[in-house]
Amino acid sequence: MMDPNNGQILAMANYPNYDLNNPADLSSFFTENEIQSLTEEEKTEFLNSLWRNEAVSDTHEPGSTMKPFTVAAALEEGSISEDDTYFCDGYEMVGGWKIDCAKRSGHGHQTLAEAVANSCNDALMQIAKKMGISNFSDYNRIFGFGQKTNIDIVGEASAETLVISKEKMTETDLAVNSFGQSINMTSIQLTSSFASLINGGYLYQPHLVKQIVTSNGNNVETIDKILVKQTISPGTSEKIKDYLLGTVDFGTGKRAQIEGYDIGGKTATAEKLPRGNGKHVISFLGFAPVQNPQVIMYVAIDEPQMDYITSTPAMLLFKEIFENTLPYLDIYPTT
């Protein structure tokens, strides 16, 4: 959870979690007999995995949370306009591959707003093709993909190898990258970059420490926000906010609605490598209030145990947390 206007991290959590006051305690995970049977190497391996901060140290494919970036880049570059329409017949043939939309029967005719709200892969591939490999790759760098955020915590994943370079990208890579497959990033990288889409276009360095004080309360240092770059124009940011509001109002994100609040956001279901293994990451990245964003949160569930893969559990978790968070932050209903 982040303040999108300065990069300040308001909360960060992983599950399973552990007792910070007794981090080596294994009793919550194993019986006493099981603990006794573990070798020291096995204990160390388990504890290291438990202590790992997945939000900054682990990467995954973002899936459809990538789509607003593709649309924003295309709008900014002038490759598309907000009045453009697209026809989704359920797939695109690219580089000899049939690449399906999430809705195999097709969405039919889609406005740009509908393409985002309905999470239409077909439309996004058409948009990326209009941009071309060079422009798409340039905007990946502008958004900070493939680069560390330099958050003030140890263990941030090296990101250089997680984005296909302009020189190596093929038309097929371009197509699947447009909707968040075959591109990897950390949760903190995705959230920080996404914040720039909805705050007017400003990418801030994320930070956990707000202030350093002595034991008697004297201020030693106040950590100021660090503006890294401007990614898109304020005008494009306003359009993206409207599209993300539509996603929650009438699109795939309806389960994240909170009575009295304008919520914007994007759903995602990303299939993990190797393809076809039945393993996914489902997520929801949302913010409020839409017109003046004050808080943004990314919820991801790795390998959910479900018969039918949908981002609904991530939306419901987002909703439950936000319903408590918004009043706590003095953000009250507007309708």
Give the Cα separation of 269 and 90 in Å (integer): 17
> Coil, strand, or helix at residue 169?
coil
Residue type, 227: L
Sign for the CA dihedral angle at 227, 230, 231, 237 comes to positive
Secondary element (H or E) of residue 153:
none
Give the Cα separation of 317 and 284 in Å (integer): 9
Bridge partners of 111, per DSSP, are 85
Q: Are strands 227-230 and 219-222 parallel, antiparallel or unpaired?
A: unpaired
Give the Cα separation of 162 and 214 in Å (integer): 40
Find the distance separating the first CA and the last CA of the chain, reported in whole Å.
24
> Coil, strand, or helix at residue 121?
helix
* Torsion angle of C-alpha atoms 39, 40, 41, 43, degrees rounded to 10: 90
Q: Cis omega (within 30 of 0) on the bond before 23?
A: no
Which token pair is 59?
Answer: 């990467």
Residue type, 178: S
Based on the residue annotation, tell me whether 64 is a catalytic residue of this protein.
Answer: yes
Catalytic residue among 49, 64, 79, 215: 64
Helices (H), the chain: 32-37, 40-51, 54-57, 67-77, 112-117, 121-142, 171-177, 187-198, 234-250, 312-328
The neighbour count for residue 15, using CB atoms within 10 Å, is 7
Secondary element (H or E) of residue 14:
none
> Active-site residues: which are they?
64
